[in-house]
Amino acid sequence: MLRLLLGEKIILWGASVQSREPGQVHPWHTDIETSRTDMRSVSVWIGIENTSCDSSLQLISGSHRLGCTVQEVVQQNGPRRGEASAQMIEAWAKEIDCSARLVKPDMTDGEGIIYDGRMWHGSKNSRPEGKRAAVLLQYAAADELISLPDLSQLEWPFRFQPEPPPVLMISGTAELREAAEDHDRQIIRYAKSSRSRPRHELFRNGRGTHGQQCSFAPHKNR
């Protein structure tokens, strides 16, 4: 499946367990590391404990093709991180693409979702009891640039750490990855010599554009 989506040469750049206590929310977001509009990446989310429609991921269908991150849209409409409801997020997405809709997969333990990290997504454990746990595996084509976010700036505009993350080559040879790492080092050198420029502009002017300006009217719930 991954080769069909990413080609023969693939890296694993993220692996974690995502836990949410009852009532805990993971705010709506686009994965910052893979948020460029031309990014070739795939995430696999597998529920392992207390997984249900009330605790699994929520997503906006087709949002990986909207040309901007949900963080940009939230910033343009006024709420801070975590303040926008799922209904507000869906309404903003529909203003860009009327076919967008909120999806709440009906899942159970052991089932998974394969999705593009550019999708607008979040989660809330609405179960009355029981911590929900899930495994998150994050893959990309081996020649893609992965940049870790500055965790003190998770709202738009993004900032990035100067060093790329360690990765594991899971398909193909290391030769292509070595070439990509040479590219990464060039980006890092450029970033260090361009500290006066916003870090998100490096993505706009790097390989492809990180995000185009969204064009929509502010939603009435602003």
Whole-number Å distance between alpha carbons of 140 and 144:
7
- For the stretch 39-55, pLDDT in tens is 999 999 999 999 999 99
- For the stretch 93-104, pLDDT in tens is 999 999 999 999
Q: Are 31 and 92 in contact (CB under 8 A)?
A: no
**pLDDT score of 194 more than 80:** no
Query: Which one-letter amino acid corresponds to residue 172?
Result: G
Give the strand order in the sheet containing 102-103: 25-29, 121-124, 57-60, 102-103
* Residues whose CB falls within 8 Å of the CB of residue 203, separated by 6 or more in sequence, listed in order: 35, 36, 147, 158, 160, 209, 210, 211
- Lookup: tokens for 11: 């890296």
> Which of 43 and 176 is assigned the larger pLDDT?
43
- The CB density around residue 88, as the number of other CB atoms within 10 Å, is 19
Torsion of the alpha carbons at 1, 34, 141 and 139, rounded to the nearest 10: -50
- Lookup: tokens for 62: 């087709």
- The CB density around residue 5, as the number of other CB atoms within 10 Å, is 14
Beta-strand ranges (E) seen in the chain are 10-20, 25-29, 41-49, 57-60, 102-103, 112-115, 121-124, 132-141, 168-171
DSSP 64: G
* Residues whose CB falls within 8 Å of the CB of residue 79, separated by 6 or more in sequence, listed in order: 88, 222
- The structural domains of the chain, ordered by start, are 2-204 (2.60.120.10)
Tell me the pLDDT band of 180, cut-offs 50, 70 and 90: low
Alpha carbons within 13 A on the beta-carbon side of 91: 13
Tell me the pLDDT band of 196, cut-offs 50, 70 and 90: very low
Average pLDDT estimate for 163-171: 90
**Mean of the per-residue pLDDT values for the chain?**
85
For position 177, what pLDDT does the model report? Answer: 61
